[in-house]
Amino acid sequence: MQLWFQTWQEVETYLQHAQGIIIPIGSTEQHGPNGLIGTDAICAEQIARGTGELANALVAPTISVGIAGHHMGFAGTMTLAPTTLIRLIGEQVEALAAHGFRSFFFLNGHGGNIATVQAAFAELHAARWRAGLPEVRCKLLSWWECDGVQKLWRELYGDAEGLHATASEVAVTRYLFPEHIKNVPLDPAIAPTSHFYDARDYRRRFPDGRIGSNPALSTPQDGEKLYKAAASGMAEAYRAFLAEPWDGAAV
Ligand code: NI
Per-residue pLDDT for the chain (251 aa), expressed as one digit of tens each? 999 999 999 999 999 999 999 999 999 999 999 999 999 999 999 999 999 999 999 999 999 999 999 999 999 999 999 999 999 999 999 999 999 999 999 999 999 999 999 999 999 999 999 999 999 999 999 999 999 999 999 999 999 999 999 999 999 999 999 999 999 999 999 999 999 999 999 999 999 999 999 999 999 999 999 999 999 999 999 999 999 997 654 44
Edge-to-edge strand order for the sheet containing 20-25?
A: 58-59, 20-25, 103-108, 137-142
Q: Under DSSP, is residue 181 helix (H, G, I), strand (E, B) or coil?
A: coil
Contact indicator for 55, 11 with CB cutoff of 8 Å: no
For position 246, what pLDDT does the model report?
79
Q: What are the Cα distances from residue 212, in Å, to 2, 29, 156?
A: 35, 17, 15
**Please, where are the H alpha helices in the chain?**
8-17, 39-55, 82-98, 114-131, 147-157, 167-176, 199-205, 220-243
Q: How crowded is residue 206: how many other Cβ atoms within 10 Å of its Cβ?
A: 25
| Whether 139 contacts 21, CB under 8 Å | no
Q: How far is the CA of 109 from the centre of ligand 1 (A)?
A: 7
- Residue 17 CA, ligand 1 centroid: distance in Å: 35
Q: Residue 103 forms beta bridges with which residues? A: 20, 137
Distance CA 70, CA 176 (A): 27
Neighbours of ion ligand 1 (CB under 5 A): 39-40, 169
Phi, psi of 35 (to 5 degrees): -105, 145
Do the beta carbons of residue 54 and residue 232 sit within 8 Å? yes
The Cα 107–Cα 21 span in angstroms is 10
**pLDDT value at residue 250:** 45
Distance in Å, CA 32 to ligand 1 centroid: 10
With H, G, I as helix, E, B as strand and everything else as coil, classify residue 100: coil
CA–centroid distance, 241 to ligand 1, in Å, is 25
Q: Cα dihedral sign for 33, 34, 37, 43?
A: negative
Q: Helix, strand or coil for residue 246?
A: coil
Burial-class residue 245 by CB neighbours within 10 Å (0-12, 13-18, 19+): exposed
Residue ranges of domains in the chain, CATH in brackets: 3-243 (3.40.50.10310)
Please say whether the beta carbons of 66 and 85 come within 8 A: yes
Q: What's the pLDDT score for residue 248?
A: 55
Ligand 1 centroid to Cα of residue 37, in Å, is 9
Distance from C-alpha of 96 to C-alpha of 104, rounded to nearest angstrom: 9
